[in-house]
Amino acid sequence: MSHVDLSVKIGSLTLKNPVMPASGCFSFGKEYAEFYDLSQLGAIVVKATTLEPRLGNKTPRVAETPGGMLNAIGLQNPGVEQVIADELPHLRQYDIPVIVNIAGTTVEDYVAVAERLNDSEDVDAVEVNISCPNVKCGGIQFGTDPEQAAHVTASIKRVSRVPVIVKLSPNVTDIVAMAKAVEAAGADAISLINTLVGMNIDLDQKRPLLANGIGGLSGPAVKPVAVRMTYQVAQAVTVPLIGMGGIMEGEDAIEFLMAGATAVAVGTANFVNPHACPEIIEGMRRWCAERGVARVRDLQGAAWKETV
């Protein structure tokens, strides 16, 4: 089989391949390290980290839906101090960039977390979560208003010593306006999409199944929405995109690259199959090799021939 160059660049970060686990779907990596060598990944995005520890929501926190799932974990995390001390150092042994997802209630919270992470040598980039639908003050207010999104992005850019990736919510009317706003505010890259706000009802109990009521929909059910948003945003901004939403196999990842993403993140698939990420990487390699694609990055935006 012919050699395929899978490497891509996200700003100043070089990834050996375009695949990273999505924030919140991989904890801090230890559980998956029992299944495979994390060095195989293009990068790792760890669970959202807030200034103070958060307990998260009551259970049930997950529910299956057709072709997907709802979750309302509620940003459970041990707080930035413990993340720096206990969760990040073990990732140093792997030869991959570590991206820390950060969340907060106020701009000051985000800035404080970003500043604190400056002191850790184990952080290669931050991903700003302005899109968690599952906490009242989890940042989604920043994710639905372009001005607020730009404000939090610029504030973090001013203090952060590492590249700043902004993760957008799909729960907006105009995703391109959101993307342009955070790009203008200095974002080095954009992740999209976070989950779609959803709900299902427990018929016996006559109430929403999740304890939180609403939750975030993910999995193959959201993939067409994510691909469409990637396609639109990629043609409207110049910063690299990390596309995600329902990627289960290599061909799904290829689809996001063709829509305009530079790299991809894998979320729900990790819950279904702990080996999902390495299998998707291998699937991309095989897909390219069978078609004589020498560099996976050449596929970026390949679908733009048609205008929508």
Pick the binder of another protein from 5, 7, 40, 62 (CB under 8 A). Answer: 62
Backbone phi, then psi, for 24, in 5-degree steps? 85, -10
Crossing angle for the helix pair 223-234 and 250-259, to the nearest 10 degrees: 30
Here's the x/- map for another protein, 217-246, by CB under 8 A: it reads as --xx--------------------------
Clarify whether 132 is annotated catalytic.
Answer: yes
Strand runs labelled E in the chain: 8-10, 13-15, 19-21, 44-49, 62-65, 68-71, 98-102, 125-129, 164-167, 189-192, 196-198, 201-202, 207-208, 215-218, 241-244, 263-266
Closest CB to another protein among residues 1, 203: 203
Considering the complex, what minimum distance in angstroms separates the CB of residue 35 from another protein?
8
For the chain, the maximum distance between any two Cα atoms, rounded to a whole number of angstroms, is 57
The smaller minimum CB distance to another protein, of residues 69 and 111, is found at 69
- Binders of another protein among residues 273 to 292 (CB under 8 A) are 274
- Closest contact distance (angstroms) between CB of 246 and another protein is 8
Task: Rule CB under 8 A: choose which of 268, 283, 296, 299 binds another protein.
Answer: 268
Q: How far is the CB of 61 from another protein (least distance, A)?
A: 5
Question: Which of positions 64-103 make contact with another protein (CB under 8 A)?
Answer: 64, 66-69, 71, 73, 76
CB 264 within 8 A of CB 10: no
DSSP percent split of the chain into helix, strand, coil, nearest 5: 35, 20, 45
Least distance in Å: CB of 98 to another protein? 16
Please identify, among the stretches 18-26, 80-88, 100-108, 132-140, the one whose residues bind another protein according to the rule CB under 8 A: 18-26
Instruction: Verify binding: residue 204, another protein, rule CB under 8 A.
Output: no
For the CB of residue 117, give the shortest distance to another protein in the complex, in Å: 21
Catalytic residue among 132, 137, 277, 288: 132
Residue 203: partners with Cβ closer than 8 Å, 6 or more residues away:
none
What is the C-alpha to C-alpha distance for residues 184 and 11, in angstroms, rounded to an integer?
Answer: 15
Q: Which stretch binds another protein (CB under 8 A): 57-65, 146-154, 231-239, 277-285?
A: 57-65
Burial 163-193 (b: 16+ CB within 10 A, else e): bbbbbbbbbbeebeebbbbbbebbbbbbbbb
CB of 272 to another protein, least distance (A): 5
Q: How far is CA 213 from CA 169, 209, 297, in A?
A: 19, 7, 41
Binding string, residues 151-180; x marks residues near another protein by CB under 8 A:
------------------------------
Q: Rounded to whole angstroms, how far apart are CA atoms 3 and 288? A: 9
Active-site residues, by number, are 132
Residues that bind another protein (CB under 8 A): 24-27, 31-32, 34, 47, 55-56, 59-64, 66-69, 71, 73, 76, 219-220, 248, 268, 270-272, 274
